[in-house]
Amino acid sequence: MAATPAWTDRLDASLPVAIEVLRHGPISRAELARRMQMSAGSLSRLTAPLIEQGLIVDIGEHNDGRVGRPTRLLDIEPTSRLFVGIKLREDEAVGALTDLRGRVLDQLTVPLPGRTPDEVVGTLVELIDLLRDGFAVGGVGIGLGGRVHNRSHVMSARFLGWSDVPLAELVTERTGFPTHVDNDVIAFTEYERWFGAGRNDDRFAVITLGIGTGFGLVANGGLIVDEDYGLGLVGHWPLDPTGPLCEEGHRGCAASLLNSDSIARRASIAVGRELSFDDVLDAAENGQPAAIQIVREAGRGLGILTAAICNLTLPQHLIIGGEGVRLAVLAQVDMTQSLSEHRNPLARTPPIIYTDGDNAEWCRGAAALAIQSFVLGATGASRASGTGRMRTA
Ligand SMILES: [Zn+2]
């Protein structure tokens, strides 16, 4: 696979066009001109250097089924650059090799021998080498549940017992590849914003379910970013004053009702034997009363949380993902009922999109961090990047 030139700021005025083709291609020139709000003439002037450099290609005529001339489409070559996206968990690192659109080409999980920065970085380097299999990559992205500064420095990650670890720098030192680190929910939301279900939205919200409950918000086309994301603030949102206690002593918070550990623990106590999160969902599907009750309570709680998000942020879509997404799907009836009970009946409730809930979605998110930096260049790698800049440029 031939390497295309890096997408750096030297593309200047043409860069927003290239990014639009990356995010929305294959795309006709007419649609591209409409999206960019420019004339056909201006667009031609900006696309010419991109085509000349091989960054975007005319992939020929396409008949969309409507009467009239077939349209010619522009696209990028997605495999012209490869990226590695890694989700760091408590006892393993899950990695994926992706193309320029974050599509997963290969996936691999390796156990962590320990949690010291040295042990973790060693494992990451090994995983990156296995995934790239001799090819150079355009960058590495890492997502983890913690507070991260400037897409590079882990300020704190409780699940690893880390504070102040310059993770991006340590990985770059060992691999030579530009590395970008961020909170996993931020990374997840970035993928959805650039390539996923939110790519046509100005505003959308993400809820992730699993070990924790995560929240991501895009407004005016840009992700709301703050280091305090990593504190998991929405994860302890109060939902039910009569609910169970979470580990931090809140009654009926999101963690107590929705987190996979809490659900497994409560169901295990109720039935008198050890159940995993998935066991509880299986039991609920099979009609076990205690499991059904726990799932329904979770559904009602999730409805209150989604109603609050809709009332406060007016999203065009609500995306629910994470490894615990099956809970939301199973509790859908209670969730949507509770959601509508907590909203003005005249309010427009946005479509809810459920993701697959597999590991790949966390990896794609991590890869999106590296892709954004690769595409936007040095200036775009900063935290302020990615906000509506390419939409208005
Ligand atoms: Zn709590």
Q: What CATH number is attached to the domain comprising 114?
A: 3.30.420.40
Instruction: Examine the domain organization and report whether 315 and 388 are in the same domain.
Output: no
Instruction: Examine the domain organization and report whether 231 and 298 are in the same domain.
Output: yes
Cα torsion angle, 110, 116, 119, 122, sign: positive
The answer as to whether 2 is a domain residue is no
Average pLDDT (37-50) is 91
Residue 1 — very low, low, confident or very high, per pLDDT cuts 50/70/90? very low
- The residue written with tokens 């966390």 in the block is 362
Query: Looking at 35, 63, 79, which one is the last position of a domain?
Result: 79
Distance 340 CA to ligand 1 centre (A): 24
Q: Is the pLDDT of residue 389 over 50?
A: no
Distance between CA atoms of 143 and 366, rounded to whole angstroms? 5
Distance 227 CA to ligand 1 centre (A): 20
Residue 9 — very low, low, confident or very high, per pLDDT cuts 50/70/90? low
Distance 235 CA to ligand 1 centre (A): 7
pLDDT-wise least confident of 13-22, 74-83, 188-197, 379-388: 379-388
pLDDT-wise least confident of 54-68, 211-225, 245-259: 54-68
Residue 71 — very low, low, confident or very high, per pLDDT cuts 50/70/90? confident
Distance 256 CA to ligand 1 centre (A): 6
Distance 280 CA to ligand 1 centre (A): 21
Question: How big is the CA angle at 269 (ends 266 and 270), to the nearest 5 degrees?
Answer: 85
Distance 135 CA to ligand 1 centre (A): 45
Element containing residue 204 per DSSP (H, E): strand 204-208
How confident is the model over 346-381, as pLDDT tens digits? 999 999 999 999 999 999 999 999 999 999 875 444
Instruction: Examine the domain organization and report whether 334 and 364 are in the same domain.
Output: no
pLDDT-wise least confident of 45-49, 159-163, 171-175, 252-256: 45-49
Q: pLDDT at position 120, please?
A: 98
Residue 298 — very low, low, confident or very high, per pLDDT cuts 50/70/90? very high
Q: In terms of residue numbers, what domain contains 168?
A: 82-190+359-392
pLDDT-wise least confident of 14-18, 181-185, 270-274, 291-295: 14-18
How confident is the model over 75-133, as pLDDT tens digits? 999 998 999 999 999 999 999 999 999 999 999 999 999 999 999 999 999 999 999 99
The answer as to whether 225 is a domain residue is yes
- Concatenated DSSP letters of 38-107: --HHHHHHHHHHHHHTTSEEEEEEE--SSSSPPEEEEEE-GGGS-EEEEEE-SSEEEEEEE-TT--EEEE
Residues 150-177: b if buried by 16+ CB within 10 A, e if exposed: ebbbbebbeebebeebebbebbbebbeb
CATH number at residue 49: 1.10.10.10
Inter-residue contact 140 to 370 (CB < 8 Å): yes
Average pLDDT (50-76) is 81
- Concatenated DSSP letters of 178-198: -EEEEEHHHHHHHHHHHTSTT
Helices 332-341 & 289-313 angle (0-180, nearest 10): 40
Distance 254 CA to ligand 1 centre (A): 6
Distance 246 CA to ligand 1 centre (A): 5
Distance 159 CA to ligand 1 centre (A): 17
pTM listed for this prediction: 0.92
Distance 332 CA to ligand 1 centre (A): 23
Instruction: Examine the domain organization and report whether 185 and 218 are in the same domain.
Output: no
Distance between CA atoms of 236 and 320, rounded to whole angstroms? 17
Instruction: Examine the domain organization and report whether 374 and 337 are in the same domain.
Output: no
The answer as to whether 183 is a domain residue is yes
Q: Is the pLDDT of residue 343 over 70?
A: yes
Instruction: Examine the domain organization and report whether 229 and 336 are in the same domain.
Output: yes
- The residue written with tokens 């794609």 in the block is 364
Q: pLDDT at position 265, please?
A: 97
Instruction: Examine the domain organization and report whether 162 and 204 are in the same domain.
Output: no
Element containing residue 306 per DSSP (H, E): helix 289-313
Distance between CA atoms of 332 and 299, rounded to whole angstroms? 6
Output DSSP code: residue 12.
G
Distance 157 CA to ligand 1 centre (A): 18
Q: How many domains does the chain have?
A: 3
Q: pLDDT at position 3, please?
A: 46
Instruction: Examine the domain organization and report whether 247 and 337 are in the same domain.
Output: yes
The answer as to whether 329 is a domain residue is yes
The answer as to whether 21 is a domain residue is yes
> Distances from the Cα of 365 to the Cαs of 183, 344, 369, 390, in angstroms?
10, 34, 7, 19
Instruction: Examine the domain organization and report whether 161 and 245 are in the same domain.
Output: no
Distance 162 CA to ligand 1 centre (A): 22
Q: Is the pLDDT of residue 6 over 70?
A: no
The answer as to whether 215 is a domain residue is yes
Instruction: Examine the domain organization and report whether 134 and 206 are in the same domain.
Output: no
Distance 245 CA to ligand 1 centre (A): 7
Q: pLDDT at position 70, please?
A: 73
Q: pLDDT at position 231, please?
A: 86
Query: Looking at 54, 79, 104, which one is the last position of a domain?
Result: 79
The answer as to whether 1 is a domain residue is no
Instruction: Examine the domain organization and report whether 122 and 258 are in the same domain.
Output: no
Distance 357 CA to ligand 1 centre (A): 23
Instruction: Examine the domain organization and report whether 347 and 206 are in the same domain.
Output: yes
How confident is the model over 200-240, as pLDDT tens digits? 999 999 999 999 999 999 999 999 988 888 888 899 999 99
Distance 253 CA to ligand 1 centre (A): 5
Q: Which residue has the higher pLDDT, 354 or 71?
A: 354
Distance 198 CA to ligand 1 centre (A): 29
Distance 229 CA to ligand 1 centre (A): 16
Question: What is the number of other CB atoms lying within 10 angstroms of the CB of residue 314?
Answer: 13
The answer as to whether 4 is a domain residue is no
